[in-house]
Amino acid sequence: MAGDMFRLDGKIVAVVGAGGGIGEAVAVAAAAQGAHVACFDINQASAAAAAATITAAGGKAEAGAMDLGDEAQIEAGLSGLVKAHGRLDGLVCTPAINVRKPILQYSLAEFDKVVDLNLRGNFAALMVAGRIMTAQKSGSIVLFSSIRSIVTEPGQSVYSMTKAGILQLAKTAATEWATQGVRVNAVGPGVIETPLTSPIKNNPDWYNAYAMKNPMNRWGQPSEMAGPTVFLLSDAASYVTGTIIYADGGWLAADGRFTPPGM
């Protein structure tokens, strides 16, 4: 039994943001561990491509469009899984955006854009999944926070605020739903090579500075976020709720870039 606790065989898992980056990597990994994965994305073609990758490898998957700004669409997508499969065992929600600007250059329209997706959108998905899972008395929800929930830098005000909010949202939901068999956790990536961070990769000085900030001296890959996420979805994490796993290459453990002589 111990050897199977990390498996997801027979579980119905929805991954929002599965059309690329971390979401796609998580969807592929969950399917490889035996889950039936519903790949959702605002871009339905990208979601379908992720599902096709899974089925081509022998996994079970389906796809659909999901805009986190549309509660009715979230409801239809997640409730549809319950109607088709009888339950919803897991939800992973990865979408986020960032507008990098100093506070004094930010517009309230830009503020609203970031907050609407990163906080309102994730809250909506959590709420819909929570209704389903508390009714069935089981389920695991994984939201995506960031190292920016703890540390920040110039130009990251609103993004950091939302990622801290995601962590507190996960903690609160965990406390509300624990007695109903629903676990809620977060994953906190460090610097990961995704479409969201592509502008940094195009600037060698910026890219290398981030790489050298963590003890591993490199960026992470989307596939490296899949392990922590699959763990939180699995029965191996049955007593884990209301917390965050930082997968950051040691970024938060290091307080500087200088290695003392002789070390």
Q: Which residues are catalytic?
A: 159
Local structure of residue 192 (DSSP, 8 states):
B
DSSP result, 132-173: HHHHHT-EEEEEE--GGGT---TT-HHHHHHHHHHHHHHHHH
> Looking at residue 197, what DSSP letter applies?
G
Give the other-Cβ count within 10 Å of 70's Cβ: 15
Helix (H) or strand (E) holding 115: helix 108-115
Left, alpha or beta for 183 (phi > 0: left; psi -120 to 50: alpha)?
beta
- Residue 182: helix, strand or coil by DSSP? strand
